[in-house]
Structure 1
Amino acid sequence: MRMQIGTYLTRRLVEAGISHLFGVPGDFNLSFLEQVEADASLTFVGNCNELNAAYAADGYARTSGLCGLVTTFGVGDLGAISGIAGAYAERVPFVHITGIPPLHAVEGRALLHHTLGDGGYGNIGRCMAEYTVAQARLTPENAVEEIDRVLQACWRERRPVHLQLPSDITHLSIDVPDEPFAFANLQGDAEQVALAAEHIATRLAAARSPVMILDSDADRFGVAGQIAALAERCAIPCVAAAPAKAVLDETAPYYLGGYVGGASRPDIKELVSQSDCVIGIGLRFTEINTGFFTHEIRPEAFINLQAYEVSLAGRSIPAAPVGAVLKALLGQVKPSSRTLPSRPAVSAAALPGEAGDRLTHAALWPRVAHFLKEGDVVVGEAGTSNTALLGTPFPKNTHYIAQPIWGAIGYTLPALFGSQCGSPERRHLLFIGDGSFQLTAQELSIILRHDQKPIIFLLNNKGYTIERLILGERSQYNDIANWRYADLPRAFDRDDKALSLVVETVSELEEALKQAEQADRAVFIEVLLPEMDAPDALKKFGMVVADYDYGPQGPRNASTKKG
């Protein structure tokens, strides 16, 4: 079979399960985008800029599977690179395709636009190699092999990959295989898998107080169902690190809550530190997962099921993928008579705050918890929103999107758009601070252009509150312009599709939530909050960060200065 290179690439993308490509057009990718337009199975979704496109691809991939990102060489690639790096850090897979100058210009070192004007064309590929797990510059000679190789790496590692497509080869015809693309089903080595499962089963049978700690791999590698089955059968309590928020049903009896090292709830902290069998699911000891490295896990008790290997008290068993090991383990373990620890009782007291009171975080988040529904997609921006939502109980089948490791502010608005493109049937709620919103605010126009109907809560506290809590409580560098945020939906959309509200009191918030519940359109709620008000967990976090970043002799806010 003969096929044009760009058409073959679109065919392989579709066969890999990709239906959406996010990005920005540019002269070096237009020939490929013409071929995308001709493929009824692919949709190109234009974004306001390349960074937003990368964030949108990340958000889509978290709820709807593999997707693509399309940029143009140089300026487009570097505009997207922070979003690509964030996806690498958070283990989110998508395929980055960049249209590069014609192959004859690359080989001839032509001094073209979007380059550094020095004849070099390897610099962008070297940049991308730091933040992707596979890269290739396509040519007529290598396209068939390289496209398949790079796609396999993307799914195997659950991280971004990078393809460079010269503008003058997209419409050249080459010989291509008849066989459709299929991802390799990596089952590992059967003996290694059986060995790992046997060791874990033996440890579980002898354990007095086992516990499982989930990280993002539980979601990325699709093993949440197996973990739930294991927890139920063996009466194993489960806790979740921040990247695994809502991966398990938070209403299930085996789920106890979040794990943040020494900053965890006292009963969870004690359970983990005293456990004689701690099973991690892809657990990474980042500062956000460990409360700045205050975790206490007995080394001899720790088992970590990673993507393709198992670590047993420091001994590595390779060629043992997490899914295969859990499947084998479920075939061996027997129901346990252990009693699951009980969670602290939830108070049935009335919601805090009176109707006429000015809104505070103490009054806001309990009402948010009551507003959430089963099946929601909740998106939490770094800082105030994510910190509060990590401590908020979620209903069944809630999906949570956040970026706790990379922590790029402004990520969530485009990620919200991307997620809605893939899951339009689900209700989406975004909680974002004013400072973060200003970084990627343009993407609100794309949300409205596509008639999406999210509920957006814009927390307006006139600046970078998380930064103020760390340092510079009254410093001007933490100030931002105080936009008329609730007017922006109308400015971005001439058809006035959105309902815009401003709330400052408890009663105004409650009325806004009622209107949002009934609205069949996008809802934008600007929530006015006191400048230095914050969830208690964020206030503690600020002091810990200051201690860690600046040391005992470093600067402090006057209100938190020690001794």
Structure 2
Amino acid sequence: MSEITLGRYLFERLKQVDTNTIFGVPGDFNLALLDKVYEVQGLRWAGNANELNASYAADGYARVKGMSALVTTFGVGELSAMNGIAGSYAEHVGVLHIVGVPSVSSQAKQLLLHHTLGNGDFTVFHRMSANISETTSMLTDISVAPAEIDRCIRATYVNQRPVYLGLPANLVNQKVPASLLKTPIDLSLKENDPEAESEVVETVLNLIREAKNPVILADACCSRHDVKAETKKLIDLTQFPSFVTPMGKGSIDEQNPRFGGVYVGTLSSPSVKEAVESADLVLSIGALLSDFNTGSFSYSYKTKNVVEFHSDHIKIRNATFPGVQMKFALRKLLQTVPEAVKNYKPGPVPAPPTPNSEVPDSASLKQEWLWKQVGKFLREGDIVITETGTAAFGINQAHFPNHTYGISQVLWGSIGYTTGSTLGAAFAAEEIDPKKRVILFIGDGSLQLTVQEISTMVRWGLKPYLFVLNNDGYTIERLIHGPNAEYNGIQPWKHLELLNAFGAKDYENHRVSTVGEWKKLTEDPKFAEGSRIRMIEVMLEVMDAPSSLVAQAQLTAATNAKQ
């Protein structure tokens, strides 16, 4: 086969970079393109319930696999996906957004087509997406289209940001040389400037030599930009006390004896707050310093000796080194750091939270007790997804087994994100290891926005745990403003009838409302095996929330009220 269609070329390239599930919704401008998915062995079309959910699913898949692909149709489809794409942009997640657009000739004639604004402007949606994309491309010339596809895939993967790719319907079946597939897409990072990198490393080494009380703080981009291995080795070589932020949870193995907990500024446990803020050197890896990630910007370091390692620059105290990438800088630092720490004497680190087992079995479930118990149910390799709200704050109290991956959209915080993200993560987990467990914690209010995606999980026989925290509405909103306001209420659902309604055949339903019921369920060896999809309704009081969320809500309310 000397030639293949451009549509097949695109999907063959995605398969080559291990993107094996394609998310999206069919629409008339992308239908010919979707035919090509089935021509590539090992590729599957997820078929989502709507484009917003599809964008969330693509985000969850990319967080686990490295990048993902989303296909929507022109106008109505792509705009429905934009909220999810914006979240991926904000949180550094590599999603290739492929949009099936009208033919080149239709655009040139400015035809009054459906899905347009009726004004002949076919570029308006592309221009909208440019603001939330690392780069964009609207294919118009078949001779350069393969190279543009390769460029877009590379940009998605390397930069860990969404990329927009417009593909006109008339180009899908045009032919390109099949031999182009023999040259792999270069996904490697460009090396740092040697002089700038050397200056960074030497400066950091000097700070390490002088430090008596240093700490390592891993944040979201430690995982997003693939420096978890380098961070682990840095901890092992230095023996510095190490912490994560809420967005960085899972970036450090929490069973490591040098792991000290989750730092959230003033919302941290007293021992963690003291350990981090009294440090004389902070090595910050992959920081994303949003309000919910920092306790409303309440970081209070006592030192100016802060080194921030980022994907595209490094900041040391007040000096910034543009273009020096943390992956290479950390690797070089690891070569010489043992000499710099030879006189360092490791001190104690804060102890992990201790589950309170003295609560009687008959007691109603309280989140302050519940989240400390969750770590006992988790096991190595789990993917744990927590919705913004009580779950995202509560999970910080759970002590993870090693190699547990946490997903929580703390910065963008789009309500209902995690249902779609769980679908994407479950597809990715199945491709990596069919026995890998995917566990969702979501509030009853959030679930109502995106519940349809459970149907897609059922369709594909995926087996996540769906823990629905039923506290009768939007508790996080009630804590911020309007505890008794009608707008923070929802229509109660019969959650344990959902799997049946979506056509599930092999499934389980559980409802737990007491300490004893939680223990009995989570300690059951059969329940611990991810053998089928499960819905677990966790009954909670309306205003019950983790103490950290209560404090954050007060800070947020105060910020919102400022003139």
TM tier, smaller: over 0.9
Counterparts of residues 13-412 of structure 1 (less than 5 Å) = 13-139=14-140, 140-174=142-176, 177=180, 179-297=183-301, 300-334=304-338, 335-345=341-351, 351-412=357-418
Corresponding residue to 2:489 among 479, 498, 520: 479
Moved more, 136-145 or 320-329: 136-145
The answer for the alignment partner of 2:514 in structure 1 is 505
- Post-superposition offset of 1:272: 3.1
Correspondence for 1:516: 527
**Aligned partner of 2:513: which letter?**
E
- Partner of 2:247, secondary structure, is helix
How many residue pairs get aligned? The number is: 551
* Native 8 Å contact 1:299 1:313 kept in 2: no
Question: Which piece of structure 1 moves more, 96-105 or 329-338?
Answer: 329-338
Q: Distance in 1 between matches of 2:301 and 2:144?
A: 48
Q: Identify the residue that residue 540 of structure 1 maps to in structure 2.
A: 551
1:337-357 CA distances to partner (integer Å, 9 max, x unpaired)?
433342344576752532222
User: Per the alignment, in what secondary structure is the counterpart of residue 402 of structure 2?
Assistant: coil
TM-score normalised by structure 2 residue count: 0.94
The 3-state SS of whatever aligns with 1:404 is coil
Return the alpha-carbon distance in structure 2 between the equivalents of residues 263 and 506 of structure 1: 26
Task: After superposition, give the CA deviation of every residue in 1:55-103 in whole Å (9 maximum; x if it has no partner).
Answer: 1111111112222101111111011111101111110102110101111
CA offsets, 1:250-272, max 9 Å, x none? Answer: 11122111111222222332333
Deviation at 1:511, TM superposition (A): 3.0
Distance (whole Å) between structure 2 residues aligned to residue 184 and residue 233 of structure 1: 26
Aligned to 1:561: none
Distance 1:349 1:266, change over 3 A: closer
Look up the SS of the partner of 2:113 in the other structure.
coil
Q: Which amino acid aligns with 2:243?
A: V
387-396 vs 149-158, greater mean Cα deviation? 149-158
Deviations 1:22-52 (A, max 9, x none): 1111111111111121111422111111111
Contact 1:242 1:260 in 2 (8 A): yes
Distance, in Å, in 1 between the alignment partners of 2:145 and 2:350 is 58
1: distance between equivalents of 2:530 and 2:229? 34
Find the residue that maps to 2:446 and give its secondary structure: helix
Q: 8 Å contact 1:463–1:478 — kept in the other structure?
A: yes
In 2 relative to 1, CA 24–208 (structure 1 residues): closer, same or farther, beyond 3 Å? Answer: same
Distance in 2, matches of 1:192 and 1:346, equals: 39
Residues 9-18 or 300-309, more deviating: 9-18
CA contact (8 A) 1:254 1:340 kept: no
Q: Distance in 2 between matches of 1:149 and 1:349?
A: 50
Q: Secondary structure at the match of 2:171?
A: coil
Cα distance in 2 for partners of 1:502, 1:439 equals 21
Q: Does the 8 A contact of 1:60 with 1:415 survive in 2? A: yes
2: distance between equivalents of 1:144 and 1:349?
A: 55
The residue number in structure 1 matching 2:441 is 431
TM-score (ref. length: structure 1): 0.94
CA–CA distance in structure 2, aligned partners of residues 44 and 62 of structure 1: 19
**AA matched with 2:560:** D
SS of residue matched to 2:554: helix
CA distance in 2, matches of 1:347, 1:158: 33
Q: Is 191-200 or 48-57 further displaced after alignment?
A: 191-200
SS of 2:385 mapped into structure 1: strand
Deviations 1:174-194 (A, max 9, x none): 457453322243221122222
The percentage of aligned residue pairs carrying the same residue is 36
1:476 deviation in Å? 0.3
SS at match of 1:326: helix
Gaps of 5+ in 1: 553-563
| Counterpart residue type for residue 170 of structure 1 | V
Q: Distance in 2 between matches of 1:98 and 1:220?
A: 25
8 Å CA contact 2:387, 2:443 repeated in 1: yes
| Cα distance in structure 2, aligned partners of 1:319 and 1:469 | 42
Find the counterpart in structure 2 of residue 556 from structure 1.
Answer: none
Asked whether the equivalents of residues 235 and 336 of structure 1 are also in contact (C-alpha less than 8 Å), the reply is no
Q: 8 Å contact 2:66–2:157 — kept in the other structure? A: no
One-letter amino acid of the counterpart of residue 509, structure 1: W
Distance (Å, rounded) in 1 between the aligned partners of 2:288 and 2:532: 40
SS of 2:170 mapped into structure 1: coil
Indicate whether 1:456 and 2:466 are aligned.
yes
Q: Contact (CA 8 Å) 1:299, 1:314: kept in 2 or not? A: no
Residue identity opposite 1:22 in structure 2: F
RMSD: 1.9
Cα distance per residue 1:224-243 (max 9 Å; x no partner): 12112112212221111111
- Is the 2:241–2:349 contact (alpha carbons within 8 Å) kept by the matching residues of 1? no
Which of residues 397, 421, 424 in structure 2 aligns to 1:418? 424
Aligned 8 A contact 1:20 1:45 in 2:
yes
Aligned partners of 1:232, 1:551: CA distance in 2, in Å?
Answer: 44
Q: 2-side partners of 1:420 and 1:202: how far apart?
A: 44
> Which deviations, in whole Å up to 9, do the C-alpha atoms of 1:306-365 show, x marking residues without a partner?
112221212122332111111111111225343334234457675253222222223422
Q: Can you list the C-alpha shifts for 1:530-558, whole angstroms capped at 9, x where unaligned?
A: 11111111111111111111139xxxxxx
Structure 2: gaps spanning 5 or more residues: none
- The residue that corresponds to 1:558 in the other structure is none
Q: Distance in 2 between matches of 1:182 and 1:432?
A: 38
Letter in 2 for 1:154: T
Counterpart code for 1:136: S
